[in-house]
Every structure is written in C-alpha cells, then in structure tokens.
A and B are shown apart, each in its own frame.
Chain A
Amino acid sequence: MSVGNGAGNGHPATLRLKLRIWRQAGPDEPGAFLDVDAHDIPEDCSFLEMLDIVNERLIEDDVEPVTFAHDCREGICGTCGVMINGRPHGPEKATATCQLHMRKFRDGDEIVIEPFRAAAFPVVKDLMVDRRAFDRVIESGGFISAPTGTAPDANEIPVPKDVADFAMDAAACIGCGACVAACPNSAAQLFTAAKLGHLNVLPQGQPERWRRAEAMVETMESFFGSCTNHGECTEACPKEISLDFIAVLNRDYLKAKVKNRRLASQT
C-alpha cells in the first residue's frame, strides 16, 4: 500500500462484523453469547480497540460494557488474550490479541469471542480469566536465589553467547496463558518449560536446577492437565516459544527425580 500525502484518503476503510461475545456475570454464573452487529469498524484499529468501540456503543444503550483483560496493548505484558473463532489470540501467527488488527478480517465476517477456557483459569467475568495458578508455579521455584547485595561482578560468570541466546528465547514468554487455552488437556508445559529452559541452562541457575525442576513440574501438575505432545501450545504462542523447551523440562524432571531421591537417601 502506498502512502500519499493524505489528499483524497481521509476516510479509512471500515468493516461490518457479526460478533458473538461471551458474557458471564461471575465465576459461578451461567454464561451466554451476546450477538452484536458491529458496523463501521475501522480496518486500522486493533482487535481490542474494536472491543472498545463496541463497549462505547453498549454504554450508550445502557448495557454494561464487556469486561476484558488488557493493559500494555503492545504485546509484551501478557494481560490480554481471548479465544477468537476458537483460537487463542486469533488467526495471526505470533501475535497477541492486542496486536491483531481488524484488517485481518473481511467485511461481513462472523467472529466468536470467548474467554480462555481451562479449569485452572476460572472466568472472572465475561472474557476475563484468573491466571494466578501461573504465579504459584513461579513461586515454587521459578527463580535464582540471589539476595540483593550478594552478587559478584557481572562479568565474573561468563555465559557462552549461544547459552544466553537459548535462555533468552525461553525467557521471552509473556505468561498470557494461550498455551494452556490451546491445549486439549489444558496443560501448562510450555509456560513452565519456558521458565525452566531460561533458568536451568544458565550457569547461575545450576545450584537450584534439580530442586527447581521437581518443584515447578509438580506444582504445575497440581493445577493443570497433562501434556500429551499435541504441540498446539507452540502454535498459539504469541512469542513462538519452541517445543524444544518441553524436552528440556522432561529431561530435567526425570533427572531431578533420580538425583533428588539419591540426595534424600543420603540424609
């Protein structure tokens, strides 16, 4: 698309969409779809801005606006995320809901919008879910214990570039939960593996490696379903976190069970 100086191009193209939006008053309330005729939606607006427009119109009509989680709107905070026509974050690959733009849809399209669905992510209201189970997984071991003040000079621990890059690939996870929503078992292997893959390969992460692997995997299993290698998680991931990290998780967990048991028997 070429961009002129604006002359004769003052009105961006718009769409008319048939929306089916999930509404649910609270965690224990029944839910149902609200049908919305969304007309005059600018192609250039984002998916969440489209919901903003819908909400403004609902308010005009004295209907309570649709609740949806969102914050940074630049694809990094991980707050937003809905099922769009059955896919977490919608049709565009490697794109969080807030970065999906309406030009990816066609005039007249029907769009079904639902919350992420998983037992570990109860619905708070409408499209908003509670993902606190992720925090419990991190609290169980997703850290390197380095109390403030104890650190040696940063260059005293060299990290080979390929190791640092591998760790960064994993650490790019934004914790949005699309992996869980995409999984037929609602497993959280990709989320957990992203943190284990980040910390367990770094030299700084070695002292707690086996304890971390066992604790995080077992905490994860207390909230989420089991992984059966569908690979839907990585397809849905807005940061394209690789399935390879799940291999790291499985290997480290297995080793950890043996090592930790041996350690336990010695005490």
Chain B
Amino acid sequence: MEFFHKQTRIAFMSTRKVWYALSAVLMIGSLGALATLGLNLAIDFTGGVSVEAALPSAANVDAIRTELERAGFREPQVGIFGSSREVAIRLPPDDSRSVADIRARVEQALLAVEPGAEVRKLDVVGPQVGDELRTSAVWALTFALILIFIYIALRFHTWRLSAGAIVAVMHDPILVLGIFSVTQTPFDLAVVAAILAVVGYSLNDTVVIFDRIRERFEHNRRLPPMVVLDQAINQTLSRTIMTKVVTLIVVVALLFLGGPVLRGFSEALMIGILAGTYSSIYISSAIALDAGLTAEHVFPTVKKTAADDMP
C-alpha cells in the first residue's frame, strides 16, 4: 500500500499567499479569542474546589447548590456529568479558609443533601498554589520556546530557515490555545503538557522537510529555490502523512477511550498535530522562501578570504 504511487509534484509554494491568509485569519482569531474570552482555566491554575461524586439516585442539583451556599460558598457551580447520578461541583478559590476546612464543609454539604454519595474525587487547591502553577506553566512554555529557538538557530545555518521554523512553532500552540478559548474547553496542567509535546512534534516535521531542502540544494544548487522547496516537501510528503496518520490513530484512541481526565490533553494533541502538519508543509518553508532563501545560504560556495572583505 502506498498513499502516492508516483512521486507527487504538488506546487505547494505557488499557492502560499492563500495559506498565509488562512493562517493570518486563524492567528488573529485565536489571539482575539484569547484576549476576549480567555481560557477556561481548571482549578490547577485558579485554585478552588472540584468534586466528583457518584450518587445512588439522580442528583438533586439545585438542593446541593443551595446547601453549598448555606455553607458559605460563593458562586458554587453544580452540574451533572456522565450520567444523572454523577455530580460535579466546582467552587472558586477562597482565601479566607484553610484547605482542610473547605474540604470538610463541602463534604458535609454534599452528604447532607445526598447521604449515599460516594466522593470519587475531591481536589482542593489553595489560591497560592494555583498562582504558582500558572506562573510555572507560562515559564515552561516560554522556556521551551527559547530552547527551541536556540536549537533552531544552531541547527540551520541561515536565519531564513530559522524564521520559518519559529513561525511554524508559534503557529501551532497559538491555534490550540485559540480553539480551547473559543470552545471554553477546561484548560488544565495536562493540556500544557500536550501543548509542549505539540511544539516538539511540529518542529519535528519542519526539521525533516528542512533536512531535505538542504539535501536537494546539495544535489543541484542551480535549481530555483521554489522548485527545490516543492521537491523537498513532495519527497517527504508520504512520510509526513504516514507519521501523522499513525500518531492520530493513537491520539484518537486516547480521546475516545482514555476517559474524561485525558480529554483535554487528547484534544490539544489532536488539534496540535493537525495544525503542525499543515504549518510545516505550508508555512515554514514558505516563510523561508519569502525571506529569500537560496542555495547560497545553505551552502556558501566561495570561502571568503580576508582580502575579499577589504573595501
């Protein structure tokens, strides 16, 4: 079996303006959504309480909410998830109480309304811990990007390729964040992990294509750069698609079978992998091309002597 029996000859580069426009729209939309809607941060980052309980009979959501309010909690969110006999409670952080006190009160309130409730999961995160996790997540992303920039700068000898790789690497996590913002999917620590993995994977594709660009230039340095870039993408296309299909198989398995804990994680990976495939094919090389990449930049022909530099 083969996706492409013959070597494909798709002219990727000639349509690049279209993809620039699409990506620009996606980026502006994502950043706009992040700025206006923000992310639906899970208690990992905000602090607060999250409870999941299984009940013997259908949950009386309103009664639980009232009881929580009576126990002194502001804005309790009580909802049903899974079946009507599974209830999820979410409370905002409360500076004035100790973690131990909060837990005791929530449990009490729940058991007062639903005596047979089995608390399956109860997380109480102090506001300070939430703040710190938020900071460390931002640091992790920043730091990963810095390291990757350094890697790219060292790896490709010309800034033209580096620029392409950096834009592609920024493109994918922003899109993931944008979609999480628009859909208000809960954003927890695992999603941060997924985004970092996406950054790694997306760069991986770009690197493989750039590797091939270098090889093509080495092979025939007289060809116009646009042709070389198209060749490189076409020659690696079946690998790109094959790898993505296989990775998507496992991510889909995770998404549908991994349960609610891994849902956000799997969704982020799924979006990121699709975006990464697109950006490494259409964006990273195109930017290098528009930055004026030629064989000369990849393999400088004449070694300059000191005399050449003289005016």
A and B from one assembly? no
A residues with CB within 8 A of B = none
